[in-house]
């Protein structure tokens, strides 16, 4: 019996969790990041009043560690004049939509970053240096 208890302690130590601690496969920021990407993409596709906004694709969302800031990377396969300004104007609408659909204490501040020339590979994409 003593060997089994030592085995359990060693397994818990190696997994990095404490006693009665479930090991989560992803960090919370990764789950929140993916949910924000989905909500922003759906809101733009189905609720945006300006039809030109529906032509963009949300590629990725990066979150700060405290989940208060979100950098949203997007691309458009068409050249849409004034697109960054349109997204800036829609920022409040998108944050309100996030606040309604996402259960968090704080709604993250959004910043939009266009990815013009995108190299897509097996592992994902590489944004242009800013």
What is the count of structural domains for the chain? 1
pLDDT by residue (tens digit) across 63-114? 988 889 999 999 887 777 888 899 999 999 999 999 999 888 899 999 999 8
CATH of the domain at 38: 3.30.300.20
Mean pLDDT of 50-70: 89
48 within domain boundaries:
yes
List the end-to-end C-alpha distance of the chain, in Å, as a whole number.
Answer: 60
pTM, to two decimals: 0.70
Three-state secondary structure call for residue 6: helix
Least confident range of 2-6, 22-26, 48-52: 22-26
Q: Examine the pLDDT at 115 and tell me if it is beyond 90.
A: no
Range of the domain at 78: 27-126
On whether residue 50 sits in a domain, the answer given is yes
CB 93 within 8 A of CB 101: no
């Amino acid at each position: 019996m003593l060997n089994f208890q030592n085995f359990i302690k060693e397994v818990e130590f190696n997994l990095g969790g404490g006693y009665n601690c479930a090991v989560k496969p992803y960090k919370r920021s990764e789950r929140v990041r993916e949910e924000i990407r989905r909500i922003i993409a759906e809101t733009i596709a189905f609720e945006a009043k300006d039809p030109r906004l529906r032509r963009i694709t949300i590629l990725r969302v990066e979150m700060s560690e405290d989940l208060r800031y979100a950098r949203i990377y997007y691309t458009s396969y068409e050249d849409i004049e004034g697109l960054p300004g349109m997204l800036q104007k829609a920022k409040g609408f998108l944050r309100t939509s996030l606040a309604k659909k996402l259960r968090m204490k704080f709604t993250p501040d959004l910043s939009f970053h266009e990815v013009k020339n995108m190299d897509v590979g097996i592992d994902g994409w590489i944004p242009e240096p800013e």
